[in-house]
Structure 1
């Protein structure tokens, strides 16, 4: 496994998935649910997201190629989409909507769009497209599993996390991660334009 690729992918995925923010939103969405239901929703959301990211990351580029879409076009459009996501992270208020009850929130909104939304799926394709060897693909896959594993742990402990970090702490962290994601997005756009020119 390529450690450099793993760390790069881990950083990018941590920034866009935001495990702490996802756990706080999960806590608000499962307010009033019993522990068993919360655990099932957390595991299902992470499993669905992990399978989606790894499959789409590995085969998304082939799909776009079949449709006649250049990978550099995807880098530019994906960079713009990631920048839009980063802009929203920095400027908009976090939405904590709580309906309570025993509703199935594993697919929507936890998996899509929170954990494996358009921005994350695009990032997965871009990360896998930068790897030409099997060790790189394994490194990106492990980064996805690591990030979602951390997210699962934080979701399972979200009641305690909410008490520790609070709304203010999450706001500060989300905006800081938004700035990092914006820089990453600009890098993707730059790479796409540079490769088009070659």
Structure 2
């Protein structure tokens, strides 16, 4: 396994997925529910997100190749999409309200768009596109699994996390991560422009 690729991937994924922020949203959606339901939703959300990101990351580039889309074009468009996501993280306020009705939140909104949204899917394609061998692909896959495992732990501890970090802490963290994601997005655009003629 390539440790450098693993660390790069896990940093990028942590920034865009924001496990702490996702856990606080998860808590707001399940605040009135029992622990069994919360655990069930946490397990389903993480499993769906893991499968989606790894499958799309591995086969998304091949799909785009069939459509005649160059990977460098994808880097530029993906960078723009990630920048848009970062801009929203920095400037907008995310609000989710809990209801007394137990609904399955594992697919929407927790998996898509929260954990496996357009920005994360694009990032996974870009990360796997830089994986020329099996060892590198394994490193990216392990990074995805690691981040989502951490997210799962935060989901289970979200009630306590809410008390510790609070709304203000979450706002600060999300905006800080948004700035980092914006820089990552610009790097993807820069790489795409530099290599588009190759």
1:169 corresponds to? 169
Any idea what the Cα deviations from partners look like across 1:60-81, whole Å, max 9, x if unmatched? 0000000111111110000000
Spell out the pairing of 1:25-64 with structure 2 (5 A cutoff).
25-64=25-64
Any idea what the Cα deviations from partners look like across 1:66-113, whole Å, max 9, x if unmatched? 011111111000000000000000011121322233211000000000
Give the TM-score taking structure 2 as reference length.
0.98
Uncovered stretches (5+) of structure 1, i.e. residues with no partner: none
Q: CA deviation at 1:162?
A: 0.2
2:96 corresponds to? 96
Determine the C-alpha separation between the residues in 1 that align with 2:163 and 2:63.
44
Determine the C-alpha separation between the residues in 1 that align with 2:128 and 2:184.
15
1:156 corresponds to? 156
CA contact (8 A) 2:27 2:158 kept: yes
Determine the C-alpha separation between the residues in 1 that align with 2:18 and 2:30.
18
CA contact (8 A) 1:32 1:101 kept: no
CA contact (8 A) 2:32 2:98 kept: no
Spell out the pairing of 1:1-198 with structure 2 (5 A cutoff).
1-198=1-198
CA contact (8 A) 1:23 1:151 kept: yes
Count of residue correspondences: 198
**Where do 4+ consecutive residues of structure 1 move more than 6 Å?**
none
CA contact (8 A) 1:9 1:140 kept: yes
Any idea what the Cα deviations from partners look like across 1:102-128, whole Å, max 9, x if unmatched? 211000000000000010000000000
Give the TM-score taking structure 1 as reference length.
0.98
CA contact (8 A) 2:80 2:189 kept: yes
CA contact (8 A) 1:72 1:195 kept: yes
Determine the C-alpha separation between the residues in 1 that align with 2:100 and 2:195.
49
Q: CA deviation at 1:145?
A: 0.2
Determine the C-alpha separation between the residues in 1 that align with 2:196 and 2:177.
29
Q: CA deviation at 1:197?
A: 3.4
Uncovered stretches (5+) of structure 2, i.e. residues with no partner: none
CA contact (8 A) 1:76 1:193 kept: yes
